[in-house]
């Protein structure tokens, strides 16, 4: 399908509207990254362009790879009550996202022994791996589903005003726990757990500053220690996507919708099924914000246990990757589905949090295990991507391929200088840096296109990963 792609500018490619497509497809890739894009991912973008009410070119970002329904690294927008909402265009891990915290100390004040003790202490407080249960059984889950991280901050699991450093201020309005199935509700016991797969907690440091003014506003100074938390809504989000994808498959014909693929099952946004999905999805969004809030709280508790009160961790920002929400673009309100994509509002955009109105809010782009991560901001040109940027590096090897091709020796070399649990090495091969695109190439793609500006590069010091079964 690559023969459908035409170059149309710096790191820009287009698939022009044809057949059942209602809009074009725009893909952002460098020449070096073009070779990685899969035919299946291209087809998924084209399928998205065929859905009812699609009203802006469907977007593929530089970390694009095949997913369920819409590819990971995909953005799709629809208009009006008759425009589609699709569970598969949001994804299984609703509000998988990243929170970045920065400390008031530097890497020169710590050593490898500290890193080992701190990561061990975090692991004692934060259950890591598939199927683990929460250690915060005292919480009112319904209040969490409705109030998200903002509710937890009110209850003392954060500092006053911390919600202004979280997308949606840590609480997406319109959550409806009543729209969740019994099976989905049964999976809310995973609150405050990390999970497996590509989820992680990483200690790092600010290795390079590109934009001094923005970095200063974000509190990111050279050599400052950072903590990055990457996780989402755990089994709850997966169940919501599973439940509503089936509901949408069953209901599509009733609304005269011919589905291009089962994974992109959809219904009109204004339909009863669509409204119930919004209530369930927003509940999962709030659960994920709360999940990262509690893990940040536990990371602070772990720090206090080994360092006392002299060192603190402040939230820089918390961004969602898998979400659908109404936004104003090009003088109209549209429903933007982001799947494996990060919102990046430019300077002075009215939807920026007040604390970042002048700079634009931070967009956090983690690399693979053992590689650098980046903080960027959107420029005015980001409006062409609906103010969306890539959410990470993007896989080039499936988990099975990585386990087959990456040796333990190669894995150790790629993790040189980074503290991790080597006893789990055999279970981490599918997350090896070799399984992902080079993060620097992915980030530079949108920088060269003029859509983002780099603010800082963060290098890893230690990483915590949960085991898969």
Q: Give the residue numbers marked as catalytic.
A: 391
Residues in the chain: 469
Which of 70, 78, 73, 63 lies closest to 46, judged by CA? Answer: 70
Q: Locate 78 and state its tokens.
A: 């629809």
Residue reference for tokens 């440091």: 205
Whether residue 376 contacts residue 208, with contact meaning beta carbons closer than 8 Å, is answered with: no
Q: Locate 405 and state its tokens.
A: 């091709």
Residue reference for tokens 């952002």: 28
Q: What is the DSSP string of 206-267?
A: EEEES-HHHHHHHT--TTEEEEEEEE--HHHHHHHHHHHHHHHHHHHGGGT---S-GGG-EE
Pairing assessment for the beta strands 58-65 and 25-28 based on DSSP bridges:
parallel
Residue reference for tokens 């901050």: 153
Whether residue 115 contacts residue 85, with contact meaning beta carbons closer than 8 Å, is answered with: no
Between the CA of residue 347 and those of 107, 364, 389, what are the distances in Å?
31, 16, 15
Pairing assessment for the beta strands 266-268 and 84-86 based on DSSP bridges:
antiparallel
Helices 272-307, 141-154: crossing angle, 10 deg rounding: 50
- Coil/strand/helix, residue 76: strand
Which of 27, 3, 126 lies closest to 394, judged by CA? Answer: 27
List Cβ<8 Å contacts ≥24 apart for 215-218: 215/375, 215/455, 215/456, 217/356, 217/358, 217/359, 218/102, 218/316, 218/317, 218/356, 218/359, 218/362, 218/375, 218/455, 218/456
- Coil/strand/helix, residue 278: helix
CA–CA separation, 23 vs 29, rounded Å?
A: 19
Which residues on neighbouring strands pair with residue 377, listed in sequence order?
453
44 phi and psi angles, rounded to 5 deg: -65, -35
- Coil/strand/helix, residue 43: helix
């Amino acid at each position: 399908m690559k023969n459908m792609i035409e170059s149309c500018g710096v790191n820009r490619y287009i698939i022009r509207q044809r057949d059942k497509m209602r809009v074009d497809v725009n893909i952002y890739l460098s020449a070096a990254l073009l070779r990685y894009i899969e035919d299946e991912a291209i087809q998924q973008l084209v399928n998205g362009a065929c859905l009812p009410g699609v009203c802006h070119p469907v977007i593929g970002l530089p970390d694009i790879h095949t997913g369920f329904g819409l590819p990971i690294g995909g953005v799709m927008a629809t208009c009006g009550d008759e425009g589609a909402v699709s569970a598969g265009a949001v994804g299984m891990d609703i509000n998988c996202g990243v929170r970045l915290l920065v400390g008031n100390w530097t890497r020169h004040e710590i050593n490898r022994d500290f890193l080992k003790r701190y990561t061990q202490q975090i692991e004692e407080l934060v259950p890591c791996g598939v199927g683990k249960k929460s250690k915060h059984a005292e919480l009112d889950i319904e209040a969490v589903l409705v109030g998200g991280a903002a509710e937890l901050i009110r209850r003392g699991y954060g500092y006053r005003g911390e919600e202004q450093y979280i997308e949606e201020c840590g609480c997406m309005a319109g959550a409806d726990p009543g729209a969740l199935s019994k099976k989905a509700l049964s999976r809310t016991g995973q609150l405050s757990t990390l999970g497996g797969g590509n989820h992680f907690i990483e200690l790092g440091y600010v290795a390079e500053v590109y934009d001094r003014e923005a970095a200063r506003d974000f509190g990111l100074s050279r050599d400052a220690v950072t903590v990055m938390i990457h996780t989402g809504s755990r089994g709850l989000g997966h169940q919501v996507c599973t439940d509503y994808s089936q509901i949408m498959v069953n209901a599509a014909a009733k609304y005269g919708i011919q589905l291009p693929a089962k994974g992109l099952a959809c219904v009109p946004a204004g339909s009863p099924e669509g409204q119930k999905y919004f209530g369930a999805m927003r509940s999962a969004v709030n659960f994920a914000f709360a999940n990262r809030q509690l893990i940040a709280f536990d990371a602070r508790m772990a720090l206090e246990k080994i360092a006392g009160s002299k060192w603190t961790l402040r939230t820089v920002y918390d961004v969602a990757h898998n979400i659908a929400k109404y936004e104003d673009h090009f003088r109209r309100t549209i429903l933007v589905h982001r799947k494996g994509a990060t919102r990046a509002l430019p300077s002075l955009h009215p939807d920026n949090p007040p604390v970042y109105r002048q700079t634009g809010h931070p967009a956090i782009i983690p690399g693979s295990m053992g590689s650098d991560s980046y903080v960027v901001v959107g420029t005015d040109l980001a409006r062409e991507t609906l103010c969306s940027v890539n959410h990470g590096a993007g896989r080039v090897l499936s988990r099975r391929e990585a386990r087959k091709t990456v040796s333990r020796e190669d894995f150790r070399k790629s993790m040189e200088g980074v503290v991790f649990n080597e006893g789990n090495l055999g279970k981490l091969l599918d997350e090896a840096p070799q399984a992902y695109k080079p993060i620097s190439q992915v980030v530079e793609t949108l920088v060269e296109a003029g859509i983002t500006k780099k603010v800082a590069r963060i290098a890893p010091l230690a990483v915590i990963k949960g085991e898969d079964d």
